[in-house]
Amino acid sequence: MCGIVGYIGKQKASAIILEGLKRLEYRGYDSAGIAIQKNGRFEVAKKAGRVEGLIKSTPALKISGTSGIGHTRWATHGGVTDANAHTHLSSDGKFALIHNGIIENYAGIKKFLLTKGYTFQSETDTEVLCNLIAYHYQKEPATTEGSRFLECVRKTLRHIEGAYGIAVMCSDCPAEIVSARKGSPLILGVGDNEYMLASDVAAIISRTQNVVYLKDGEILHLTARDFSISTLEAEDVSPVIDRVTWSIEDTDLNGSAHFMEKEIFEQPAALENTMRGRFAEDGSTANFGGLNISPVDFRQIDRFHFLACGSAWHACLVAEHLIERFARVPVEVDYSSEFRYRNTPLGKNALFFVVSQSGETIDTLAAMREAKRKGYMVLAVNNVVGSTIARESAGGIYQHVGPEIGVASTKAFTSQLLVGAMLALYIGRMRDMSFSDGVEYVNALKGVPDIVRRTLEQAPHIREIAKRYAHYHDFLFLGRLSLFPVALEGALKLKEVSYIHAEGYPAAEMKHGPIALISENCPSVFLVPSGEMFTKVVSSMQEIKARKGRIIAIATEGCELPEGVADEVISIPACHEAVLPIVATIPMQLLSYYIAVELKRDVDKPRNLAKSVTVE
């Protein structure tokens, strides 16, 4: 939530920062702001609304300073107004600051600063930070040793409770930026005679692929010539410069209308990347290089716990089903935000997986820390390389699907389903799954990209259905067993991008309450697999039809649906049970996407949402 960018170098900073902000807008898009430093003066422009609006309305952006900071906001404290947009200035005008996170003890600090004569222009928690820095700076004697600016930021942060990724400029230090993180992401891009800081690689990738991932409690000091990293306790840190493997093209639309569309259609390649190099030579099981636990120790695990939020939580529910079905090991799935505060009894030989596309979701990070505190090993399933969750886990599985920019998760979700299916195979083969069942399973997984490609061919048909159904206000999504979490995901996707109310239910549960919603005005999307559940699901469909409900059936090819039971049918290829949730997801993604387009929604930036939820 919120994106921060900073630049210091030889080029005009405003254009570079604005470009970075546009690429970070998926993190928050309530308001945007920028501050450029020139000749010891700040030029600040900020505005409620999108970055584009800021650019159009602000002549100040033409200024030519070569250092500056910028912010795109997802509001927490204070409404969406120009005044609450960042950058914030200290009341003496000496400091300009941007912030991603929440300052929990801001009220007490504000009270203190008011008694000292500091004034506040916004309702944000952030503004106390720059005034507290100003307070320490004014008290601190000028010194030639070290940077007074840096030391005052350090001193200030020692008083701060909460989460932050910040960047600060001081009018006395025209070519310096100080930046720090705790709980919110922060990276440094090391370019050619220039440095950039940002919440995320997307903001800097057009200028450099050399990146330093900062850790919690670290402070970055940038000048036009060099940089240094130290801790809150003033210990020097030796930076490790990593090379990002993806490039600027991965963050462009490349001809698609929206990132959501692009990412839906990228799924065959993305899933291929998730699997690459991850099957054993004998072709009967999966192979994970980064688990950092020996197969012998892994074999001792008698209970798995999965923690995640949102779509990732749905992926965990599917993993639970597949691991229990194919490996016969109990699995518990918790919302990260609930696990933290529940006192769940945990077994002796349990292992945790945290699943997070971004690797920055604060609830999942906190839940992971709680599991670690209790002495458990925690592995991560994560897409963003170098994320906090990846770094704090004992090991894990990178998804390798490239940057996911659309706020609604698509390719990252199906990749998480795939990782879950591969884990079920890996654990299953350590137990009762036979060699030949393993080979059949592996071959099915290898066929996923192709089967997803074939499913995507249904897009024109689904688009026509979307046009007919876009005007409904309520939907039910119904599925059974591993397709129940997929129904939950279908409902979530529709809600997120089209703002249509939708609920996911196990198909047979529908008659215990939700059936009261059914009328000709509330369509149901049924996931109808072939096999043992087919007749059961069809019975549920008949119950809806008897109450005049309209039905969109996503059904396995070759299933003989009784005449008249479905108003619309979307066929999906027949496939292995472990692959079915992935394949069944695709039509629901397309349906949500096309309905949202039909309703002219802001598909990639739905209202009130942000891609990476870094506040509790």
Binding site for ligand F6R (CB under 6 A): 309-312, 356-358, 361, 364, 408-409, 492, 496, 612-613
Query: In the complex, what is the shortest distance from the CB of residue 407 to ligand F6R, in angstroms, rounded to a whole number?
Result: 6
- Side-chain half-sphere CA neighbours of 422 within 13 A: 27
Which residues touch 85 (CB under 8 Å, ≥6 apart)? 30, 31, 32, 33, 46, 47, 48, 71, 73
Q: Which is nearer to ligand F6R, 309 or 390 (CB)?
A: 309
Nearest to 413 by CA among 254, 586, 607: 586
Query: In the complex, what is the shortest distance from the CB of residue 357 to ligand F6R, in angstroms, rounded to a whole number?
Result: 3
Give dist(CA 161, CA 151) in Å, integer.
18
Alpha helices in 64-105 (DSSP H): none
| DSSP-assigned letters across all residues of 115-166 | HTT---SSS-SHHHHHHHHHHHHHHSPP-SSS-HHHHHHHHHHHT--EEEEE
| DSSP-assigned letters across all residues of 280-322 | -TTSSSB--TT--S-HHHHHH--EEEEEE-HHHHHHHHHHHHH
What is the CA 201 to chain-centroid distance, rounded? Answer: 13
Active-site residue 559, yes or no? no
What is the CA 418 to chain-centroid distance, rounded? Answer: 18
Give dist(CA 390, CA 310) in Å, integer.
18
492, 504 contact by CB (below 8 A): yes
Residue from 2, 130, 173, 559 carrying the catalytic annotation: 2
Query: In the complex, what is the shortest distance from the CB of residue 116 to ligand F6R, in angstroms, rounded to a whole number?
Result: 39
Q: Which is nearer to ligand F6R, 251 or 357 (CB)?
A: 357
Query: In the complex, what is the shortest distance from the CB of residue 367 to ligand F6R, in angstroms, rounded to a whole number?
Result: 11
Query: In the complex, what is the shortest distance from the CB of residue 504 to ligand F6R, in angstroms, rounded to a whole number?
Result: 13
Residue nearest to ligand F6R (CB): 310
Residue 608: phi and psi, rounded to 5, are 70, -5
Produce one character per residue of 267-298: b if its CB has 16 or more CB atoms within 10 Å, e if not: bbebbbbbbeebbeeeebbbebeebebeeeeb
Which residues touch 114 (CB under 8 Å, ≥6 apart)? 120
Residue from 22, 262, 411, 611 carrying the catalytic annotation: 611
Query: In the complex, what is the shortest distance from the CB of residue 544 to ligand F6R, in angstroms, rounded to a whole number?
Result: 26
Q: Which is nearer to ligand F6R, 16 or 312 (CB)?
A: 312
| DSSP-assigned letters across all residues of 260-289 | HHHHHHTHHHHHHHHHTT-B-TTSSSB--T
575, two tokens: 């496939």
Q: Which is nearer to ligand F6R, 71 or 411 (CB)?
A: 411
Q: Which is nearer to ligand F6R, 118 or 313 (CB)?
A: 313
Q: Which is nearer to ligand F6R, 212 or 307 (CB)?
A: 307
Tell me whether the omega of the peptide bond preceding residue 208 falls within 30 degrees of 0, making it cis.
no
Query: In the complex, what is the shortest distance from the CB of residue 363 to ligand F6R, in angstroms, rounded to a whole number?
Result: 8
β strands within 357-473, DSSP E: 378-382, 395-398
507, two tokens: 């198909």
* Tokens 């906090």 belong to residue: 388
Active-site residue 173, yes or no? no
Q: Which is nearer to ligand F6R, 84 or 410 (CB)?
A: 410
Produce one character per residue of 536-549: b if its CB has 16 or more CB atoms within 10 Å, e if not: ebbebbebbbeeeb
Q: Which is nearer to ligand F6R, 58 or 358 (CB)?
A: 358
Q: Which is nearer to ligand F6R, 18 or 381 (CB)?
A: 381
Query: In the complex, what is the shortest distance from the CB of residue 590 to ligand F6R, in angstroms, rounded to a whole number?
Result: 15
User: C-alpha angle with apex 282: 280 to 287, nearest 5 degrees?
Assistant: 10
CA-only gyration radius of the chain, Å: 26
Query: In the complex, what is the shortest distance from the CB of residue 585 to ligand F6R, in angstroms, rounded to a whole number?
Result: 12
Instruction: Tell me whether residue 432 is exposed, middle or buried, using C-beta atoms within 10 angstroms of its C-beta: 0 to 12, 13 to 18, 19 or more.
Output: exposed
List, by residue number, the catalytic residues. Answer: 2, 611
